[in-house]
Amino acid sequence: MPPPAISRLSRVWFPSGGIAAAGVEDGHAKLIRAGFLRPSHSGIFHMLPLGRRVQNKVEGLVASHMEDILGASRLSLSSISAQSLWEKSGRFQNIASELFRFSDRKHVAYLLSPTHEEEITALVARTVKSYKELPLRLFQVTPKYRDEFRPRHGLLRGREFIMKDLYTFDSSVESALETYREVRQAYSSIFAEMKLPVLAAKASSGDMGGDLSHEYHLPTHLGEDRVIRCDSCDYVANEEVAESVASDEYLPKTEIKVWRGITKDRTKLVNVWYPAQTRLSGGGKVRDHAESDINIAEVKSVVPELDAAVEDADSLWSAATAAGTAVELINVVDHRLQAAICNNNLEAAPDGVPNTSVINRKVDGQSPLNLLRIHSGDNCPQCKSGHLKAEKAIELGHTFFLGTRYSEPLGAVTSTPTAGQTAHMQMGCYGIGISRIMGAVAEHLADKKGLNWPVAIAPFSCVIIGGKDATEEDMAEVYRHILNATRMEAKHIDPVLDDRQKPLPWKLNDADLIGYPIIVLLGREWEASRHVEVQCRRVGFKQTVELADLPPLISRLHTEL
C-alpha cells in the first residue's frame, strides 16, 4: 500500500493575512481574518476550506458518539417542512415569527425547518407499528434556519446554522428515561473529548415541550444565557429555572422602583415593582438593584405573553392607549414588598387605566415571586451551606424528554405486549450546535495572537514549518516521522506542511492566527543537530527535542490539548 499523501497548505485555499486586525477583535473577527469563513448576508456565512475542516471534525466526533456509543442510525431529513404539520402539533403559532415561510405554485404552505420534531414523528408514525421495533434512535447533521430578529455574534446567533439532532422513540416512560440518561452520558463524553469545560444545567423546555431538559453551556463573557451553579454541591441550572434561598431583606425606607413591559398583543401593560435596595440576611451589606436585575423569566411565569424583546415599553404604552384600545394594567409585585405598600405608589399608569390587577404570588398561589435575578453569593437551594455563582454562558447543546408531546397530535402509535392495545411512543430529542461550537470555541480560547483550537477539532492538529536551512524533503521527513510513529498512540493526529512561498516570520504569525494546537519548527538547530522546536502557545509550552523524541512528545500533547 502506498504511503498516504502529505497534507500541504499550498493545496488548501484560505485567504488568511489579508485583513488588518481591528483594535478590539473578538473570536468571530479572528475567524474571518484567518480565512475560516466569510459573511454572506445578515446572520449567514460562507464556510471556507479551513472552516469546513473544523466543521467536518466536529460533525465526525459527534456522529461517532451517536453511532458507536448510542447505536443510532444516521439519516438526512429535508430542510423543507410542511406548515400543516407544525399547525397540527400546535407549535406553529408560538414561533411563526422566527420561521422562513414560503408557498409553492399550488399555494401549499411550507417552511425551512429550524428543527425536525414534526417531520421525524410523522415519518416514524407511518413506518413503525410494533413495540418490538423500539427503541429507535435516529440522528442527522443538517442545516437549520431561523429568521432571527437580530442576528449577532457571528456563528453564535445566525439565521442559517448546522446542527446535530437525535430523535429517540421508546415504548415506555422507563425506557425513554434510560435513553435520556445514556444520551446525557454521551454528551459529557463528547465535550470532554473536545476538552471544553461545559456545564450541564437543568433547563426549561420552552416551546419544545416536555417536562425534563438540560442545557450544555460553555461559560464565556459573550454568552447570552446565565448559568447558576453552587460552589459546594452539584447544583447547576439555567437562570430561567434556577432557585435560591430568598435571604435578602427589604429595607422599609428605601425607594420602590418600577420596570415597564408590554405583552406581545399590546393589550396588557405590565408594571414590575421591586425594591431599589435589599440587605443580605444576618445584617450583611446592602445591595443596590437596577432594571438589569429584573428576573424576566420570573415575570413571564405569571405573565407568559410578555414581550421580553422590548427594551423600552414607554412608547408602546403610549401608542396602545392613544389608539383607544382597551388595555389592562398588570402590577407584578416582588415578594419583599407588601401589596398594600405598592398600591399606594402605583402612579405609573396611563390616564383611564385602572390599577386593578395585582399579582404577588406565583400561579400555584403559594410560592412567592422573586423578581430580582440571582447574584453570585446567594445561598444554594439544594445544599443550603453552599453559595451560588452566576456566570454568562453559551448554549452548545440541549436534551429534552418529550414524552408524548408530538406522538399524540401526530399519531405515532405502536402495538403493546397486551393484545389489541396500542400506546403513543415516548420521545426524546437531543441537539448539538455544530457551527455554534466552532464560534464558541473561537471566543472561549482566542487570545491576542489568534485562535486556539482543541486538537480534536483543529483544522490541522500540528503544522510543520521550515526555516531557511530546511528543505521540503526535511519537512516531509518530519511529517512522516510524526504520522507513522504516533498514529497508533494518540487520536486526532493530523499534521500539515506549511510549504507556501512566504517568509518564516509571516508563517509563524499566520500559524498563531489560525490557531494550530502544535507548531513544529525546523529552525537553526535542525541543520546542525537534527533538533526541532515544538511550540504550544495555549499552554505556554516550548521545547527543543531530537527527532527521535518528537513522536512521543506529540502524542502526549495530543492527549492534553
CA distance to 93, 166, 202, 359, per residue, from 365 (Å):
29, 38, 24, 10
Of 84, 88, 87, 85, the C-alpha closest to 108 is 84
Please give the helix or strand (H or E) that residue 413 lies within, else none.
Answer: strand 413-415
CB 463 within 8 A of CB 520: yes
Write down the mean pLDDT value for the chain. Answer: 87
Q: Is the pLDDT of residue 351 over 60?
A: no
Q: Which residue has the higher pLDDT, 368 or 100?
A: 100
Verify cis geometry, omega within 30 degrees of 0, for the bond prior to 551: no
Domains of the chain with CATH codes: 49-77+114-242+389-442 (3.30.930.10), 249-359 (no CATH), 460-560 (3.40.50.800)
Q: Is the pLDDT of residue 75 over 80?
A: yes
Q: Is the pLDDT of residue 470 over 80?
A: yes
User: Which pLDDT belongs to residue 479?
Assistant: 92
User: Which pLDDT belongs to residue 509?
Assistant: 93
Here the cell at position 308 is 421580553
Q: Express each pLDDT in 200-220 by its tens digit.
A: 999 877 665 567 899 999 998
Q: Express each pLDDT in 473-504 by its tens digit.
A: 999 999 998 887 666 667 888 999 999 999 99
Whole-number Å distance between alpha carbons of 45 and 30: 14
Mean pLDDT computed over 153-165:
93
What letter represents residue 302's amino acid? V
User: Which pLDDT belongs to residue 316?
Assistant: 77
User: Which pLDDT belongs to residue 364?
Assistant: 56
Mean pLDDT computed over 22-48:
91
Whole-number Å distance between alpha carbons of 189 and 65: 8
Contacts of 329 (CB under 8 A, 6+ apart): 268, 269, 270, 271, 349, 350, 353, 354, 355, 356, 357
Beta bridge partners of 337: none
Residue 388's φ and ψ, nearest 5 degrees, are: -90, 150
CB 162 within 8 A of CB 434: yes
Q: Is the pLDDT of residue 363 over 90?
A: no
**Residue 302: which pLDDT band, with cuts at 50, 70 and 90?**
confident
User: Which pLDDT belongs to residue 423?
Assistant: 95
Q: Which range has the worst mean pLDDT, 108-122, 164-178, 344-358, 498-512?
A: 344-358
User: Which pLDDT belongs to residue 518?
Assistant: 96
User: Which pLDDT belongs to residue 274?
Assistant: 86
Q: Which range has the worst mean pLDDT, 40-44, 63-67, 133-137, 310-314?
A: 310-314
pTM across the whole model? 0.87
Whole-number Å distance between alpha carbons of 432 and 438: 11
User: Which pLDDT belongs to residue 1?
Assistant: 52
Whole-number Å distance between alpha carbons of 389 and 166: 31
Question: CB-based burial of residue 91 (10 Å sphere; 0-12 exposed, 13-18 middle, 19+ buried)?
Answer: buried
Ordered DSSP codes for 249-285: EE-TTSPEEEEEEEBTTS-EEEEEEEESEEE-TTT--
CB 23 within 8 A of CB 9: no
Here the cell at position 258 is 418600577
CA distance to 139, 190, 511, 530, 533, per residue, from 555 (Å):
32, 20, 20, 20, 15
Question: CB-based burial of residue 480 (10 Å sphere; 0-12 exposed, 13-18 middle, 19+ buried)?
Answer: middle
